[in-house]
Amino acid sequence: MGKNKQKIDFHSFYHDLFPERWENLKKALLKEPVKSAYMKGLLKPYYLDEASVMAAMALDVQQGDTVLDLCAAPGGKTLILACQIGTSGSLTSNDRSSLRRNRLKRVISEHIPDSIAEHITVTGHDASRWSLHENGIYDKILLDAPCSSERHVITSPEHLNKWSPARTKHLAIQAYSMLVSASEAVKINGIIVYSTCALSPFENDGVLEKLSRKRKGRFSILHPEFPFGEPTTYGWQILPDTEEGHGPIYIAKIKRVM
């Protein structure tokens, strides 16, 4: 009986996090996501949220860079990174799930010219353990971490029924492990972009706050700014209630300094 009294449902949890915004946020999340055709350098357009494009562009990949996309599937951001390295440099696109990895391979083969595709390697490793095998290798790393994806949860009665506050806390711990791994795999003076499609601050600024506390002095926070969205303590967030349906996307950018 005590356990039932303590149970917090999805809407109550997010109302507490966004007290003045939750009703409008909820309405925005229940609408169809806004997607646009991204075409630059591709064989055919790929449709994704402009906010997701901004997360990939924040990495500022240049030709010749050695790049790692740690959680790459379904592949939209990998397509953008691949076209930025062009025919020089390299891109490792990783996803641990074999099903998601197969989709990633298909997306790459359907959208990327062969001259660029030959510079892409698809792998299936555990992102949180990457640094056990490679240290100080990459110029740029994108970590688009697995997250609560509240936009998906709120539109699925099955997922909504299974949801609990433990979900976001577990995902925040997992994301932190992945970010620590990325912070070791990147070169000194290299750049990491950490992003999620989560609303929960546990998975967003909370992960960066923990890294700042536990890895003090190892990196600097670069505070990106974008044409739309709003700043947070450690990064930038785009929420659909104020940005014409775009998002949710959280983006933080860090530079390894030692």
Tell me how far apart the alpha carbons of residues 18 and 195 are, in angstroms, rounded to a whole number. Answer: 20
197 is catalytic: yes
Query: Could you tell me what percentage of the chain is helix, strand and coil, using 3-state DSSP and rounding each to the nearest 5?
Result: 40, 20, 40
Closest CA to 49 of 30, 27, 33, 25: 33
Enclosing H/E stretch for 140: strand 138-144
Enclosing H/E stretch for 22: helix 22-30
Q: How far is CA 206 from CA 46, 61, 193, 216, 250, in A?
A: 31, 26, 15, 15, 12
Q: Out of 71, 83, 147, 197, which one is annotated catalytic?
A: 197
Q: What positions carry a catalytic annotation?
A: 197
